Structure 1
């Protein structure tokens, strides 16, 4: 079966993106990097159902305003691929910044709220996350205004995402 993934661009009221700090477990894509919350679409599952399942499992909430944004195609690492690339159905939603410290994160090493320009300047960002944020935040990136300070929360006992992270 060909790989198919879902991911969520979740933005707070200050234009910062909620990103997963991926753990460093062997075998996962982009260990230690910033990535979007999401994962693999299971056999027979719709992309909409998959992103809702992934968000409920990974952070304990599904934003009410979650909507499909667009499909991206990203390259797969040579060691993991049967095909050269995979589709990622990207959804967009908002979250109040004051909710983020209280998310029930079950996967990854932590989370951060970070502005798009700061995110794109980070060395370790998953390919899919870098592409999605760059496209989604074009106007904000082009604006010369100052970005808000990033905030970061670490998970006490980092857990793996089972190697399916997008």
Structure 2
């Protein structure tokens, strides 16, 4: 016999919570408040992208893991930035990211190499990730400077966009 588990998503509650965070940041942060990215990975934690997009309509961007979910968000009408938190894993993903204006985290030399070989029509925005201790993704501190320099060179070649140079990005 299955356990009677039910999850209810209230879009209004998602929107309210986002407003509370935005108000708090506006109150507590000097200058302009930081941008707010809604993390909706794993099909919005199993609750559905449609509900998440409705609830987080005021977010500055979306952060996801799966490129197919990112494309689906574009198909559902999301126009603001989308960031792949784990980046991409094969060169063919770059064409999809290019077509749908999807940004990426860059956490490996293999990703830098794939970007260098990508003949995209426009620059792909990227964020070079530092492994800050979780040891899952990101460049080790001793590798980071060289990886960042490579990313800057790709930016000068028009392969990488500016990404959000003024954004602080810490995935955890």
Length-normalised TM-score, structure 2: 0.25
Structure 1 or 2: larger strand share? 1
Larger Rg: 2
